[in-house]
Every structure is written in C-alpha cells, then in structure tokens.
Amino acid sequence: MSLAVPKDRDAFASGLGAFAATLGSAIGLGNIWKFPYLTGSNGGAAFVLIYLLSIAFVGIPILVAEHTIGRKMRLNAVHAYGTVIPGQKFWAGIGMAGVAAALLIMAFYTDVAGWVFAYVFKSFAAVFTGATLNGKTFEALAGGTWEPLCWQVAVLVLTTSIIAAGVSQGIEKVTKTLMPLLFILLIICDVRALTLPGASQGVAYLFRPDLSKLSATVLLSALGLAFFKLSLGMGTMTTYGSYLPDSTKIVPNATRVALADTAVSLLAGLAIFPAVFAFHGTPAGGPGLLFNTIPLIFSKMPLGGLFTVVFFVLTAIATIGAMVSLIEVPVAWIIEKGHMKRGNAAMFTGVLMFALGIPATLSQNPVMAEVKLFGKNCFDLFDFTSSNILLPVGGLAIAILAGWALSRKAFVTEMNKGYATTPWHGHVVFAIIKYLTPILILVILLSSLGIIKLH
Ligand code: PHE
C-alpha cells in the first residue's frame, strides 16, 4: 500500500526487503532535523540517554508487537485492530487515533520538508551567486507568509501525487539506493565537524549526561521522539507487518532497524553539535538548528557549496519516504471504508493536511507567533499532541493488547515464525512487551501530568 509496500501481500520476498522497507518509513526528518533540535532544547546527553533507553525498552518491543499483529492479521491497521479479538471492536480506536496522529504530524512535517526543499534551491543558487546561507536566510524563509506556504503546497502536491498514482514502489527503489549515500555524506559532515577547533565540547554535550537536566518534560520528549522516529503507535508499522513474509524473523529485524535508524540520528548529532560549539552557536537553536548549522559546516570545506546542495537533496528524498508512509495511513482507511477511489482519497487527505498545515506553518511568522494555546504555538502544539500524547498512548494500548488481551501462545508463535525452534529471546521479549514497556510508558505519561513524582 504505501511506499515500500507492494500491492500483493507477501511481496517482501527477502529479509533485506523487509528491513529496507521498514527503515524507509523510519528514516526522515526525525533523524536529521528533530533529533538534533530536541537534544539541543532539552539539555543534551541526558536527553540522548533517555532516548536510547526508550528505543531499547519501548521502541523495539512496540515495533515487534506491531509487526507481529500486522502479520497475523494481514489487514490495514484500523481493520487489523478492530478484528484482532472477536467481539472487541474497540481496539480499532488504535488505528483511528493513528489517522488523527498522521494528520497532525503531516501538518508540521510538510512545513519542515518545505524548508528542506527551499534549501535545495537556495543552496543551489548560492553556488552560482557566491551568497552564504545564514541565520537570516532561515528566519526570512520560515518567518515569511507566502514562501513557506507555497513550499508546503509543493511538498503536499508531490507526495499526494505519488500516492494517487500508486507509484510508491518506484520512489521506494530510488530512496533505497540513495540512503547509503546520505549515510556517507553524514560521515563526511562528521569528519569535518569533529576536526573543527573546540569540537570536543560538542561531543561531550551529546554523550556526557548531566542527570540534573532530567525532568518529566525531558523524559516525555525523549519517549515521544522514540515513537516518532520508529513510526510507532499509529498503525504504520502494523501495516508494514501485514506485508512481512512468514520467514522474517521479527525480533532481529526490528532490532536491526532500530540500530540503523539510531545510528543515522547519532551521526546527524555528531555533525551538528561539534559545529555549534566550534562556531559559538546555541544548541537550543530550536527548529532552525539544522538549517543554520549545515551550511556553516560545509562553508569551511572545499566544494562546500556543492556538498550543501547534495545534503539537502538527500534529506529531501528521505522526507518523501516518511511522508508517503504517513499519508497512506488515512488514505488506506478512507479507501477501505469504500467512500472514495485512491486518487480522490489522496487529494482529500492532502487538502485536509494543508488546512491543518496553514496555522502550523504561519506560527513561525512574527504576526502569528504570539497566538498560543496551552503556552504553545500551533506548530509545537501539533507536534506535542501527536508525538508526546497520541503515539505513546497508542503504544501503551498496543502493548496491553499484545501482552494481556491476546492469547500469549498465538502472539509468541507468530512473533517466532521463521525459526525452526523457539529462540532464547522469545519469552524474554514477550515479558518485556507485557510488563516493562507498558510500565515505562505509563510512568512517563503520569509523571508528565504531575500525577507521580520521580524525584
Ligand atoms: N519516522 C519518521 C521520521 O523520523 C516520521 C514518521 C512518524 C513516519 C510516524 C511515519 C509515521 O521522520
């Protein structure tokens, strides 16, 4: 159905196909834009530590649970959850909350993707004009009115057309070939950033945790990022699971995806923070951090202008993969409900996303910046509501469903398909899904509401 997901079921013929497809949805702005930005605004290494723990003890188990339920049901997410336990239709709520989350995420994701696309052109033009991209470039773009809105529309038209035309698989192939290139380019950025004078401060910022920086807000942001990063808690990965062949070993596959995805985030962090410190910037630079830092890193390199263009082109391509998997969640549901054909469903979803996207995009505009609800502008509010509430609550419901409501035997058998004999980790992973994962999510959610105090 979506990018990566072939039309006929079971079409991920190989283990590599299953791995690459899952990774295609996971890798995106979350790694390159959101991880560094949130690390910077939440105080650095302590946040990174909680994020890594969240990936290990919440992210991987929920990914395993979603893949297992998806493969067992072989249906789209709303129907998979609605019929997984006969007579308990209410679990379909997980899929419906996922549709809401997809709409909210796309409202701000397309804004940021629009900035990336704009930077492709701006950096390309700069190669010829000799102009430099700096903080003012970003402010003018993000704080504008028509410019960011036009880019957002362009991004939405591009991605919804891909969905409408059903050519996601072609894009998927392009993405797969280009992702290793993004990886290599990030390593080049890292080498450049790490050899700048004063770089070690940035490395310490990323990896030497100061536990006094921990608060309920930091915990919730790190947990929310783990969900956002691995596209969890909203049905995307359940759908991908429905296309996994029986031979896929779900636990190792999920672990590999999480490791590769986390590696990309850390590589992005290792490029950004050393450079931020070397150039005396502020780590808490907010959503503009990536856009202000990358051109700076490359500006100190031969052919730097060209590298900047390539960097934003590859990032733009990575965002398409994630966006297609996001749009497909509501589109699949609308089509399955039988109300619309694919093309109309894609257009309807795109228009809805743009309607929500306008206030999100304009919240960077000085005129709108002061319009706040619960102390947050629209951009932050959509991000907070989806990443920090809807996805973790969805994940909690999935863990409870997998660990407590479904038959243990049926779940573990499905999870361990692909093995001739039960592997050692089979029951350990199940115990984590049943006890540890839901408890961790619950503790973090309750502490952020002030209902329990952690210290
Ligand atoms: N994981 C994607 C990223 O990091 C975003 C995403 C979230 C995609 C939820 C699908 C579902 O950019």
pLDDT tens digits, residue range 1-47? 344 444 444 456 566 777 777 888 899 999 999 999 999 999 999 99
Residue 60: the pLDDT is 98
Q: What's the confidence (pLDDT) of residue 164?
A: 85
Is the model's pLDDT at 173 over the cut of 80? no
How confident is residue 172, by pLDDT bands cut at 50, 70 and 90? low
Q: Which whole number is the average pLDDT over 416-430? A: 90
Residue 221 Cβ < 6 Å to ligand 1: no
Instruction: Read off the pLDDT of residues 382-421 as tens digits, 9 standing for 90 and up.
Output: 999 999 999 999 999 999 999 999 999 999 999 999 898 8
**pLDDT, position 2:** 40
Whether the pLDDT of residue 169 is over 90: the answer is: no
- Provide the mean pLDDT of the chain: 90
Q: Is the CB–ligand 1 distance for residue 26 below 6 Å? A: yes
Q: Which residue CA neighbors atom 9 of ligand 1 most closely?
A: 231
User: Cα(412) to centroid of ligand 1, in Å?
Assistant: 27
Cα 25 to ligand 1 centroid, rounded to whole Å: 6
User: Residue 167 has what pLDDT?
Assistant: 61
> In a mutational test of the pocket of ligand 1, which residue from 35, 179, 326, 353 has the highest number of ligand atoms less than 8 Å from its CB?
326
pLDDT at 346: 93
- Which of 336, 418, 365 has its CA nearest to residue 76? 336
- Does the C-beta of 25 come closer than 6 Å to ligand 1? yes
- Whether residue 336 has pLDDT greater than 90: no
**Cα of 305 from ligand 1 centre, angstroms:** 29
Least confident of 98-112, 267-281, 295-309, 318-332: 295-309
Residue pLDDT, tens place only, 347-357: 999 999 999 99
Judged against a pLDDT cut of 90, whether residue 166 lies above it is answered with: no
419/417 Cα distance (integer angstroms): 5
Which amino acid is located at 163 in the chain?
A: I
> Which pLDDT score is estimated for 5?
45
Specify the higher pLDDT residue, 2 or 63.
Answer: 63
Ligand 1 site-directed mutation target among 1, 23, 25, 51, most atoms within 8 Å of CB = 25
CA distances 266 to 231, 259, 300, Å, are 18, 10, 22
β-strand partners of 376: 373
Separation of alpha carbons 329 and 345, rounded Å:
11
Task: Indicate the top mutation candidate among 27, 109, 110, 228 to test ligand 1's pocket, ranked by most ligand atoms within 8 A of CB.
Answer: 228
pLDDT of residue 9: 43
Write out the chain in H/E/C secondary structure: CCCCCCCCCCCCCCHHHHHHHHHHHHCCHHHHHHHHHHHHHCCCHHHHHHHHHHHHHHHHHHHHHHHHHHHHHCCCHHHHHHHCCCCCHHHHHHHHHHHHHHHHHHHHHHHHHHHHHHHHHHHHHHHHHCCCCCHHHHHHHHCCCHHHHHHHHHHHHHHHHHHHHCCHHHHHHHHHHHHHHHHHHHHHHHHHHHCCCCHHHHHHHHHCCCHHHCCHHHHHHHHHHHHHHCCCCCCHHHHHHCCCCCCCCHHHHHHHHHHHHHHHHHHHHHHHHHHHHHCCCCCCCHHHHHHHHHHHHHHCCCCHHHHHHHHHHHHHHHHHHHHHHHHHHHHHHHHHCCCCCHHHHHHHHHHHHHHHHHHHHHCCCCCCCCCCECCECHHHHHHHHHHHHHHHHHHHHHHHHHHHHCCHHHHHHHHCCCCCCCCCHHHHHHHHHHHHHHHHHHHHHHHHCCCCCCC
Nearest CA to ligand 1 atom 12: 28
pLDDT more than 70, % of the chain:
94
Cβ 29 under 6 angstroms from ligand 1 = yes
Q: Is 30 in the pocket of ligand 1 (CB under 6 A)?
A: yes
- Identify which has the larger pLDDT, 452 or 406: 406
Give the Å distance between the CA of 59 and the centre of ligand 1: 13
Mean pLDDT of all residues in 420-427: 87
262 lines ligand 1 (CB under 6 A): no
- pTM for the full predicted model: 0.94
| Predicted pLDDT at 13 | 58
Atom of ligand 1 nearest to the CA of 322: 8
Nearest Cα residue to 126 out of 395, 345, 307, 263: 307
Nearest CA to ligand 1 atom 7: 231
Residue 319 CA, closest ligand 1 atom number: 12
Ligand 1 pocket residue status of 229, Cβ below 6 Å: yes
Q: Which of 10-24, 210-224, 304-318, 363-377 has the lowest mean pLDDT?
A: 10-24
The pLDDT of residue 1: 37
Which residue has the least CA distance to atom 10 on ligand 1?
231
pLDDT at 255 over 50: yes
Q: Ligand 1, atom 11: nearest CA belongs to which residue?
A: 231
- Ranked by mean pLDDT, which of 93-107, 307-321, 365-379 comes out on top? 93-107
Span 219-251, pLDDT tens digits: 999 999 999 999 999 999 998 888 888 999 999
Q: Measuring CA to CA, which residue among 148, 156, 153 is closest to residue 365?
A: 148
pLDDT at residue 234, as a whole number: 94
User: Does residue 325 line the site of ligand 1, with CB under 6 A?
Assistant: yes
Residue 201's pLDDT is 95
Res. 76 pLDDT band, cuts 50 70 90: confident
Let me know how long the chain is: 455
Which pLDDT score is estimated for 171?
Answer: 60
